[in-house]
Amino acid sequence: MIKLENINLDLGEFQLKDINLHIEEGEYYVILGLSGAGKSILLECIAGLQKPDNGKIYLDHEDITNQKIQKRSVGYVFQDHAVFPHLNVFENIAYSIKRKFSKQKVKDKVIEIAEIVNITHLLKRDPKTLSGGESQRVALARTLIRDPKCILLDEPFASLDVQLRDDLRSLFRKINRMGKTIIHVTHDYEESVTLAHKIAVFHKGKIVQNGKPSHVFANPKSKFVARFKGIRNFFVVKMIQHNKAVYKDKIAFEIPEQKKLSKGFVMLNSQDLKISRKPDPINESNKFKGIIKDIVPSMKGNEVVVDADIKLTVFIKHRDFEKLDLKLNEEVWVYFRPDTIKYIVSDKQ
């Protein structure tokens, strides 16, 4: 069990602000945030490479905030792997146990770990000849052999191709099933939802939302979290009637009927928005006139960004897009049914 209590650290460029986390034993916990947001600093605090300005870190109820790096039962797999270039793969893996066991025992242990991470064929190799995926596995084996209570993975899929990512993902799941607590830092939404038991979304040095991935992404509490799921239309609103909410006190949305008036968020899938050159005669509510500001093609279709005092993103399939023949700076109407809106009540009322 790992517990972070009110961790604060100011490194100038990077900051940690009042971080509170509770990670259960055997949990696969993902910290999701943009690249360069300082997520790695959080891992460095847990590993002991950085000392927080204040706050406490507990590992299995023991306060390890001021404990030496060497004494912490925390294994850190660095983003750049940090495989020792002057030692071969065997020597790298054996580094932490070389002085603790007999030569034969060290050899047995290295082979055992190498089998788990599937690198037995690499043991005599010079690290300079390893591919990114192989090097990642060596770093992982080197950490696992110490049998730490918790493993910290810093952007483990960075600079790996898709095939290697799949293999490594199943390896991490395997290690997690062996009972290891894993804290995994990433900027990749897909990576987080496929691996995490629980997730914390990290933004500007703070954890903005945490919980089970399905819950976090079904109920994003900020535009930042919504953006990770690919939600482009996310607005902070205030209800003025049981079926009406306003954005910035002037733009009104008709929303599904709510029991209580509250502040909250309006979330819309861009597929649910419709676009036309004339106003929709059937829909009376949620109609917005605007100008097409951008058209972004993707694999499945086009995202059309319309500026209608609020920025609305409409997804149109390729075939429909061709039929509509939309142009930049053209005036259009965007409309959607109230039942396509997901209204999320904010924690801060």
Partner 1 sequence: MTRTDPFALTLTLLGGVVLILIIAPLAGMFFETPLSMLFKTAREEEVIRSITLTLLTSLGATIFFSIFAIPLAYLLARKKFTGKRIVSGIIDLPVVIPHTAAGIAVLGFVSRDTWLGKMADSLGFDFVGSPVGIALAMSFVSIPFLINAARDGFSSVPVRLEQAAYNLGASPVRMFFTISLPLAWRHILSGFILMFARGLSEFGAVVIVAYHPMITPVMIYERFTAFGLKYAQPLAVLFILVCLVFFLILRMLTRENGNNGNFKFRKNK
Does the footprint of partner 1 cover residue 86 (CB under 8 A)? yes
Alpha helices in the chain (DSSP H): 39-47, 89-94, 103-116, 132-144, 162-177, 189-195, 213-218, 223-228, 318-324
- Considering only residues 111 to 140 of the shown chain, the ones binding partner 1 according to CB under 8 A are 139
The b/e string for 168-180 (b: 16+ C-beta within 10 A; e otherwise) is bbebbeebbeeeb
Alpha helices in 118-222 (DSSP H): 132-144, 162-177, 189-195, 213-218
In the bound state with partner 1, the residue whose beta carbon lies nearer, of 97 and 116, is 97
Does the footprint of partner 1 cover residue 82 (CB under 8 A)? yes
Site string for partner 1, 23-42 (x = CB under 8 A): --------------------
Cβ–Cβ < 8 Å for 78, 49? no
Nearest distance, CB of residue 151 and partner 1, angstroms: 11
Backbone phi, psi, residue 50, to 5°: -125, 145
Q: Choose the stretch contacting partner 1; rule: CB under 8 A; options: 116-124, 142-150, 178-186, 232-240.
A: 142-150
Residues 33, 38, 75, 213: which binds partner 1 (CB under 8 A)? 75
Q: Choose the stretch contacting partner 1; rule: CB under 8 A; options: 78-86, 173-181, 269-277, 335-343.
A: 78-86
Residues 11, 49, 240, 291: which binds partner 1 (CB under 8 A)? 49
Does the footprint of partner 1 cover residue 13 (CB under 8 A)? no
Residues 15, 22, 26, 84: which binds partner 1 (CB under 8 A)? 84
Secondary structure element (H or E) that encloses residue 59, with its range: strand 54-59
Does the footprint of partner 1 cover residue 143 (CB under 8 A)? yes
Does the footprint of partner 1 cover residue 76 (CB under 8 A)? yes
Q: Choose the stretch contacting partner 1; rule: CB under 8 A; options: 20-28, 81-89, 213-221, 277-285.
A: 81-89
Secondary structure element (H or E) that encloses residue 263, with its range: strand 263-268
Please count the other Cβ atoms lying within 10 Å of the Cβ belonging to residue 166. Answer: 13
In the bound state with partner 1, the residue whose beta carbon lies nearer, of 71 and 278, is 71
Say how far apart CA 174 and CA 75 lie, in whole Å.
16
DSSP state at residue 3: E
Nearest distance, CB of residue 324 and partner 1, angstroms: 52
Cβ–Cβ < 8 Å for 109, 145? yes
Nearest to 154 by CA among 167, 166, 143: 143
Residues of the shown chain interacting with partner 1 in the complex, contacts defined by CB under 8 A: 47-49, 69-70, 74-76, 78, 80, 82, 84-86, 95-96, 139, 142-143, 146
